[in-house]
Structure 1
């Protein structure tokens, strides 16, 4: 199955008309950035500067390094240029004229030389009120007509990064300056506030604060180390995942981590996916690869015996850890890694069963996401990519099956042109988190390639050998990426059923430690994840510590509680519940755990 980690989360989307206007403003501001930088740093060579989601960037080859401390001066120069009311003027030129005008700009010359012979070459010039040329760039546009359309108080330069020219590690390293631009200061302020909230919820920061996981570059980039707290959460999630899969008619498999090259040659991965696979290892003078996918292994299990149509559908799931090579520049905490555990499944069925099975996967997916409080879910129907296998008629039939399943479930969807896997079309489900950001998670992929390549058959009712259909499916995508999204969605304040620490027992003084221990013992006996705050620290310090660890329930106990067999209940958000008998609190808590309540 292909990776479902395409999107790393974006700010809430605006309507298309507003987005088009913002894109034009941002593209224009990127040109103003380039004009300012070339003025402030003579000898700068400019590369490209597009509008992007929520902002823009421009790449430069600078005569000296700059840091974020230089950004305010660049912003001031940009504001001067904006306030001078420059026109953006589009000029169409010949190839020879373009090469002459940009003769001192090697990156522009390279782009010009790569344009098709019949390409129209346009330049956008910035001219002041007298008509004098301020700056010009090779560009298709569009741009605002005049800088009067740009509010000089509604943009901000955000940060600086390194970027290889054209993404090629063998080409020059450039300086990339990122910025954001909006129609008015109010929108800018709202976006900066949104970024502050994103920073507060950053899963890498919260992962460290809550002691969930770590990454050790010196031991291997893109590989996750799960700490005890993260391990507790992962066990709770995996137990839930297994239970739900058994309830929904799946069987669970376990397969090896490596396989002979024959597997990947037969599947087509070595032909279509080699750049994302790790180099082979030599075992018994043969090439073995660590697996980037689980599917060939499931097929090998299928082929251990002949199957009848009565056996189908088979729904086989695996929490299978796979390894894929990702460039170091795209690795990002839990969201983009090199080793991850897919909540993978393969459905092997007859052609008559395919639409019903896809509908069932959609239903199952939605029920899982709603358990975690994700209700804003949209489908994307991905069509055939340029690099693919199989007859066009089969692609169209498969695409129609996926479309019918989506429409039968009444889900909103869009077409993702060319976004399918090399072996078949797919459905991607994208969810919106608490900040309105969209994340691609669930993937449902149709495959008529692997059954053919591995000569999979079943005996149909007419006694003939026939080819089954195969569906690849991941609900959560991968456990690592799901945890990253979940940490940010909840801001680390997890529902009690999956929280690493569910309860903390806090005695008001050491004299009540024995009563606290008795409460702890009763909770532990019921597999409730409980910690005892029995140190000699002050009670308020213990409460602050537990709130910092985002423990859902804090049970404060003193003389009154010890005498009456009760606990005083404080929630992590500062609210308090009425005091309860210990057994009543246990019933209250177990109800929220067993129903997987999102509320405390």
Structure 2
């Protein structure tokens, strides 16, 4: 369950993801949470991933499963009508919730759960477009991670598991070469994780290092020559022949839940102002300052700031300590002098207290600080 503060951060993440995908030429889709077993037989999930799926549900018209991945349904969307080479690359995007039966002993907070939402995209392109698309995706992913405050990355190329794969050796070699060439073209150092790929294609995993040096796997780019074959996906090429597209799987955050958990760890709960669920708290010194505190709150809220007022029912020192424990970026204290002069006392997280700051100047300062971040600008 997402409580209001966590849901505020999640909404910021999702809104930013939607905005970036819209600007990047992606088409938005939505797919159902349940599907008939025949879909996962076609995709190969029941042959190679059944242990990671929830048990089947027997219904009056067949056997159904909660979807463990969004990709089979995106293939159905591609296959829904005849496609032309002029439509490629076709980029489909979904904030899609998936369900995976993780064993109880492997569950770990937000980092490993049984139901989660991916900012999931599947890109269908020609062989000639493949490498350029992967290079573009690497740029896209790194820019998103940097926007959220990460700047230390590592890249890992996962290759075929010889005991668990579908498709020909030649197809796997071509997909692996395309991913590797994109990394080299980007000038990126990377490691090779032999045999670590999913059964349907090799992939690049992007890891980030947080503020205290821990490494987290987040984003993935996966090349797939297999699902287009299994779903018999085709497009009409410029010479009129029918060709098989190449499919790329890609998630920027990995999952919303895991990315949120990594953000909490990275910032130790002290989110930067643009990301903080509550950006400003206003504390009236006494009861007779509450009306002014409320008027300041309205002024800040009208400028889009997330702000609240805590009434003077407890001692001021206690309320300030509580706000600091909540790691709120700005605590404003208002008393007699502030009421008279339309000012506030500014207690910024990690900084010295400022007295007599005009409300207008404070609003300008904070809104400029927030606008400097690309997620909310």
Interval of TM-score (by shorter of Structure 1 and Structure 2): over 0.9
1:287 is aligned to 2:41: no
Shift of 1:561: 1.5
The answer as to whether partners of 1:365 and 1:442 remain within 8 angstroms in 2 is yes
- The number of aligned residues is 374
1:472 to 230, 244, 249: 249
Distance in 1 of aligned mates of 2:312 and 2:58? 54
Partner of 1:428: 205
Distance in 1 of aligned mates of 2:174 and 2:92? 24
2:141 to 355, 365, 380: 365
Secondary structure, counterpart of 1:570 in structure 2: strand
Partner of 2:40: 264
1:407 to 171, 176, 184: 184
The answer as to whether partners of 2:286 and 2:312 remain within 8 angstroms in 1 is no
The answer as to whether partners of 2:208 and 2:218 remain within 8 angstroms in 1 is yes
Distance in 2 of aligned mates of 1:241 and 1:575? 35
Alignment of structure 1 residues 53-452 onto 2, 5 Å: 225-386=1-162, 387-452=164-229
Shift of 1:491: 0.3
Moved over 6 A (4+): none
Shift of 1:283: 2.5
Shift of 1:580: 2.8
2:343 to 550, 559, 566: 566
Distance in 1 of aligned mates of 2:312 and 2:9? 25
Alignment of structure 1 residues 510-525 onto 2, 5 Å: 510-525=287-302
Question: What TM-score, normalized to structure 2?
Answer: 0.96
Shift of 1:533: 1.1
The answer as to whether partners of 1:497 and 1:597 remain within 8 angstroms in 2 is no
Secondary structure, counterpart of 2:199 in structure 1: coil
Partner of 1:503: 280
Shift of 1:245: 1.5
The answer as to whether partners of 1:264 and 1:270 remain within 8 angstroms in 2 is yes
1:593 to 326, 351, 370: 370
Distance in 1 of aligned mates of 2:372 and 2:30? 29
The answer as to whether partners of 2:290 and 2:312 remain within 8 angstroms in 1 is no
Q: 1:444 to 1:597 in 2, by over 3 A?
A: closer
Q: What are the Cα deviations for residues 478-525 of structure 1, in whole angstroms up to 9, with x where unaligned?
A: 111111111011000001112111110111111110010001112222
The answer as to whether partners of 2:131 and 2:179 remain within 8 angstroms in 1 is yes
The answer as to whether partners of 1:547 and 1:573 remain within 8 angstroms in 2 is no
Question: What TM-score, normalized to structure 1?
Answer: 0.61
User: Structure 1 stretch 323-332 or stretch 281-290: which is displaced more?
Assistant: 281-290
Q: What are the Cα deviations for residues 120-149 of structure 1, in whole angstroms up to 9, with x where unaligned?
A: xxxxxxxxxxxxxxxxxxxxxxxxxxxxxx
The answer as to whether partners of 1:546 and 1:572 remain within 8 angstroms in 2 is no
Say which structure, 1 or 2, has more relative contact order (CA 8 Å, 6+ apart): 2
Query: What is the root-mean-square deviation in Å for CA atoms of aligned residues?
Result: 1.4
Structure ID, larger Rg: 1
The answer as to whether partners of 1:237 and 1:498 remain within 8 angstroms in 2 is no
